[in-house]
A and B are shown apart, each in its own frame.
Chain A
Amino acid sequence: MSAINNNCEYISKKQIEITFDGKTYKAYEGDTIASALLRNNIRLVGRSFKYHRPRGIYTCGIEEPNALVQIISEHNEPNTRATIKRVYDGIEITSQNRWPSLTYDFGAINNILSPIFSAGFYYKTFMGPKGFWKNLYEPLIRRSAGLGKPPKNFRSKSTHQYHNNDVVIIGAGLSGLAAAKKFINTKYKVLLIEQDSYLGGVLKNSNKVKTINDLTPRKWISETEKLILNSKNITILKNTLVTTYNFTNHLIALEDKFAGKKIELNKSELTLHKIRTSNTIIANGHIERFISFRNNDLPGVMLASSFEKYIHRYGVVPEKEPVIFTNNSSSLSLLKKLISLGCKPNAYVDSRKKDNIETEIKKILKDNEISFFSDAEIEGCDGNKKVETITIRQGKSFKKLQSSMLCVSGGYNPDIHLFTQSKGLVKWDKNILSFKPDTPFQKTITLGSTSGNYNFKKLCDEINEKLSIFKTKKVSLDINLNVPNKFSITELWETKKKNNSNWSKSFVDLHNDVTTKDLKQAITEGFDRIEHLKRYTTNSMGTDQGKISSINSLAIVSKMLKKEISEVGTTTYRPPYAPLSFAAIAGRSTYEFYDPERKTSIHSWHLKNNAVFENVGQWKRPWYFKASENETMHQAVQRESKMLRENAGILDGSTLGKIEIKGRDALEFMNLMYTNAFSKMKPMTSRYAMMLGEDGMIKDDGIICKISDQHFIATTTSSGAPKVLADMEEYLQTEWPHLQVFLNSITEQFSTFNISGPKTREIMMKVFPDIDFSNDAFPFMTFKNFDYKKTKIRIMRASFTGELGYEIYVPPKFGLELWQEIFSCGKEYNLIPYGTETMHLLRAEKGYIVIGQETDGTVTPIDLNYNWMIGKNKKDFIGKRSLTRPDTSREDRKQLVGLLPINKKDIIEEGQHIVELNELPKKITNPIKYLGHVSSGYHSPNLNHSIGLAMIKGGKNLFGQKFFVTATGKTKNIPVEIVNPVFIDPENKRLTS
């Protein structure tokens, strides 16, 4: 066997080196892995999925079921189709699904054991004995499943590109190019997408067409491409495969930016195009199908049109003397090409009756003395890891030929994958023996062989007629052919075996190792519906989606069921048409851009001062500040908490949500939105307020500043801000449209600092010497506006730590400057920055709740003993009615309590259960009575022992009682006392000092 090179304008003359399974080979720039390997007479390239049978290169395109390889030099990318992937100098490729080597694969034992791996073996073979599934079968299957190995240390860059178009043309072959030509310089925005790096499709892959409009195909392609490129309304995407056709004309296409080039890690390797279009024209051609016969998977068996494509597109003749086996007229062009190259096919086997075979074919065969077998078929082929002998059946006689390559053509299937993805309906066409598009579900037009039109002469009329809905000029195509215009085919899906053998298989799905015998067995076992049969046998499933197998299997099944193929129906082709990598789907939403980050105006200061950040929504909030490299989080939080209670601390609270509310009916609106009563609240005072859902459960909280009855500012939790604003808008627009109230989010318009601690007043007086911060002039829960530099700031007296505290609101442009000023003034008072963890500890000491920690969507204000926040005399507020429901007023609801460990060295952990047992049984046989859970647990440096907040059933009546808290990894529980949840300053002396 030997391949020869053919002059080809699509392949560079520049030689490069590639490595396959550790061996170096010469190739040309422009080669695919498959064409390069064929050029080097490499036929064995992989092992099959289930039986580990030796496999070669079957096709020349995306439909390849066998030749899947691993690209070591590209993040170890597995399952790459060798027929698509273009090579470059230095590319390192290995075969996959074999051990220890491709030639000697231990897994090939599966072929010997194949009787136990027949259809549905997953559901039968692994049923027993007991325990084998967990200990033997599952680990074994997991180890051997899949083909290639997943990549390690993956860091590919891919981008997304969105398009909005009037027309998308999929496929730039003859039909696609002719269609695109109609749109040149029109008002339509058109995208022409081609999977290959060259336009032309069948024109460049074969010599079927002699001339178009008196130009050679190459010249016509080149002139058409020039015209399209000069047209401002059409964009061409090459090396781009449309993988998905979703509803509302939404297409997904994958562009390989480095086709035939070495990947540069700092550049985008792939682009995922997300296309919204008004009209889609599918012109992506057809896929040749095979015929099932004994050992039709041996390396050396190849589809005839693929063989032809290797000659024309890649300049390699895989074999000088192949045997051609066909049931149709399409192989004439291959025959002619081989003869023109001085190659003489070993034999020509045609299942059609002699009278039905084209005269031209018969003449060429006779003139060149090529063995001709009409009304004949291939019984099977044999050989060790390659085709060596081919057995031909003609009538009752058999003839064995020595040959290393067999080109098979079983006819063509219109490539209807995308059409069916779009929910278009297909119908069976007896003339072409295949399904073709019938009724589109969306604005979809199919052209050329995709629509089942194999007649070149009728193409022009088809295009002009189907595209007449667009305001375009007519296109003219005068096509001269090298082949007969009429497509002739006789039905042949499977040939008859001479002898039955368990090890000689006749495959119908090469990708999933499904044989014709599997189909028969499935039907015998009752899986006679095509969708059931598909799943039972795995036929046409997975990443291949039965590109070359599905119609064959439908036909074979229909014969077995003695039904028409149209009665059997089709299975659904699932997107994507070909596999997409996760990197392509993720685009830039990985690593540093995994989630958008929000930063406060003080962020740079935090970084310089060793802040460790936590994510709060998308915000980066300082969690704690490290005083030294070795300081742990616990040490930092203990230090910050103690320092604040002794001196002062400042927190960057800029992330808090802020909403400005104004309008004639603002007061009524606020009374409806929150549980609190605002009517008697004085202007320029503030109030802690709570917002409920309609079910009476706490949704959010914050401080409300009342400027006047018509003007309020509300703060919200950091992560709750968008939802609170959206809810307020929704209520205004749907429930209370009569209220004249307007809202603006002003979260971003202010940097907010929470400064608190016993020395806060002194610091504030130093920063703002003109402001009177005395208790009388500036009492607790009041706020004032002041001029500061060239702007205004608002200062509110409030605290979330239980200490004397102020909140400062300053426009972010002035935020960092003021923050630094505060530190400069606070230095002598030992002012420290503190983070959210310390804030949580300090508020827990004071018994303040945190939304989402003490509350979980099932907690009412009454459960927290916050009855004082409910405006009982108010006519209505959201959730009011629900608070009077029997379930929300139950005495035994989970209620907020404090927890103190009896043994002060014990640590109460958040999330632990509260139980009555001091010790859990080693083996729990009966449910343990559950009383509640610890919602917050901290070690208090100010009390020098652990404290906890908990939600316990009937908690309000349990003060003073002893229970137990479970501990991680232990059966011995921690004894605790139920106490009032306020641990520090219950009289609020510090707060109001």
Chain B
Amino acid sequence: MTNILSIPGVKVSQKDYHQIIIRGNGLEKFNNTIEEKTSIKPPSKNLEIKYDLNYLFAKNSFDQWSLILMDKKEHHQILNLVSSINTNENMLASDYSYGQVYFEIEGENKDYFINQLTHFDLREEKFPKLTMAQTIIARIDCSIYNLGNKFIITCNKSYEDYFQKRLKDTALLSNTS
């Protein structure tokens, strides 16, 4: 974990997680395969998140899921899991571990802070706890996961420097600083 910034009401840190993107039809066979390989039942409702300390499993769209593994694992283990899921011909699992970066944003002013970078409506009734969305933040494609007390924002690794700078710049110029 790397602390990116801390201002009154907002704390941002960068985390190292593994991630697998899974595509499939979401039917029984699909669910069984996932449960068999990961011991987690995939969420069935669109944009829903299942979450505990070890993983975050989200349904991104009607045929796409993202499984973020939060506990420490060797890359080989992830690649083996990917290969194992891919034995099912009707599914595609791709390793996203090192191609994505992960930022956790927490604190009472987190919504106000993020809304300096995105138009996305973070109100509870529009973006409930334990749901996710794919949207534009700081002018780049991001996924945002609402865990209630914090948001996890992921974006492509190639934007890591840019996104970090935008976060820091926002904090520097922020009303909350």
> A residues bordering B, Cβ < 8 Å?
157, 159-164, 189, 257, 266-268, 271, 274, 276, 588-589, 592-593, 596-601, 603, 619, 660-664, 710-711, 740, 742-744, 746-750, 790-792, 811-814
Contacts and interface: CB of A to CB of B under 8 A. Distances in A.
A589 B138 CA distance: 9
Given A598-B162, A660-B94, A157 B173 contact: yes
B78 to A, nearest CB: 9
19 contacts: A161-B116, A267-B173, A276-B121, A588-B170, A593-B165, A593-B166, A599-B161, A601-B157, A619-B158, A661-B92, A740-B90, A742-B92, A744-B94, A747-B156, A748-B156, A790-B74, A791-B75, A811-B75, A812-B157
Given A588-B169, A596-B140, A744-B94, A162 B21 contact: no
B139 A589 contact: yes
Contact of B123 (A164, A600, A792): A164
A748 B157 contact: yes
Contacts of A619: 158
Given A164-B123, A662-B86, A812 B98 contact: yes
Given A619-B158, A742-B24, A744-B21, A711 B97 contact: no
Contact of B92 (A159, A163, A601, A660): A660
Given A267-B173, A276-B121, A588-B169, A792 B161 contact: no
Contacts of B100: 748
Interface string B82-101: 00001001111011111110
B159 A596 contact: yes
Q: Is the interface of A mostly helix, strand, loop or mixed?
A: mixed
B35 interface: no
Contacts of A600: 158
Given A598-B156, A598-B159, A812-B157, A792 B79 contact: yes
B45 interface: no
Nearest to A814: B98
Given A267-B173, A596-B162, A744-B94, A710 B157 contact: no
B158 A791 contact: no
A160 B21 contact: no
Interface in B98-149: 98-100, 112, 115-116, 118-123, 126, 138-140
Contacts of A271: 175
A711 B91 CA distance: 10
A268 B139 CA distance: 19
B64 to A, nearest CB: 8
A274 B120 CA distance: 11
Contacts of A268: 173
Contacts of B36: none
B116 A811 contact: no
B70 to A, nearest CB: 17
B169 A593 contact: yes
A188 B159 CA distance: 37
B92 A791 contact: no
B30 to A, nearest CB: 11
Contact of A742 (B91, B126, B159): B91
A662 B89 CA distance: 8
Given A266-B172, A664-B89, A161 B115 contact: yes
Contact of B76 (A159, A266, A711, A791): A791
B142 to A, nearest CB: 11
Nearest to B63: A742
B140 A159 contact: no
A142 to B, nearest CB: 35
B119 A274 contact: yes
A811 B97 contact: yes
B96 to A, nearest CB: 6
Nearest to A660: B94
Contacts of B11: none
Contacts of A749: 94-99
Given A162-B120, A742-B23, A746-B99, 11 more contacts: A161-B112, A162-B119, A164-B126, A588-B173, A593-B166, A662-B86, A742-B24, A749-B98, A812-B99, A813-B75, A813-B98
A632 to B, nearest CB: 29
B29 to A, nearest CB: 12
B115 A748 contact: no
A597 B161 contact: yes
B150 to A, nearest CB: 20
Contacts of B161: 597, 599, 603
Given A593-B166, A596-B140, A662 B158 contact: no
B74 A162 contact: no
Contacts of B74: 790
Interface in B12-31: 21, 23-25
Interface centre among B112, B121, B158 (most CB of A within 10 A): B158
B147 to A, nearest CB: 20
Contact of B23 (A597, A743, A792): A743
Nearest to A711: B86
Nearest to B19: A749
Nearest to B116: A161
B90 A748 contact: no
Contacts of A596: 138-140, 159, 162
A-B pairs with the 6 shortest C-beta distances?
A748-B99, A742-B23, A598-B158, A749-B99, A742-B92, A662-B92
A572 to B, nearest CB: 27
A599 B23 contact: no
A812 B75 CA distance: 12
A157 B175 CA distance: 13
Nearest to A603: B161
Contacts of A164: 115, 121-123, 126
Contact of A159 (B86, B116, B118, B162): B116
A746 B99 CA distance: 8
B116 A160 contact: yes
A603 B175 CA distance: 33
A162 B116 contact: yes
A790 B76 contact: yes
B123 A189 contact: yes
Nearest to B156: A748
A663 B138 CA distance: 35
A157 B169 CA distance: 11
A268 B91 CA distance: 49
B119 to A, nearest CB: 5
Nearest to A746: B94
B116 A663 contact: no
A663 B93 CA distance: 11
B173 to A, nearest CB: 4
Nearest to A235: B112
Interface centre among A189, A662, A664, A746 (most CB of B within 10 A): A662
Contacts of B126: 164
A790 B75 contact: yes
A401 B76 CA distance: 96
A777 to B, nearest CB: 24
B35 to A, nearest CB: 19
A771 B95 CA distance: 24
Interface centre among B96, B98, B140 (most CB of A within 10 A): B98
A388 B143 CA distance: 68
Given A599-B161, A742-B63, A811-B97, A664 B116 contact: no
A735 to B, nearest CB: 17
Contacts of B157: 601, 748, 812
A711 B98 CA distance: 22
Nearest to A748: B99
Nearest to A664: B89
A811 B98 contact: yes
Contact of B118 (A162, A662, A744, A812): A162
Nearest to B177: A267
A157 B173 CA distance: 9
A308 to B, nearest CB: 34
A589 B166 CA distance: 10
Contacts of B159: 596-598
Nearest to A655: B158
Nearest to B83: A792
Contacts of A599: 158, 160-162
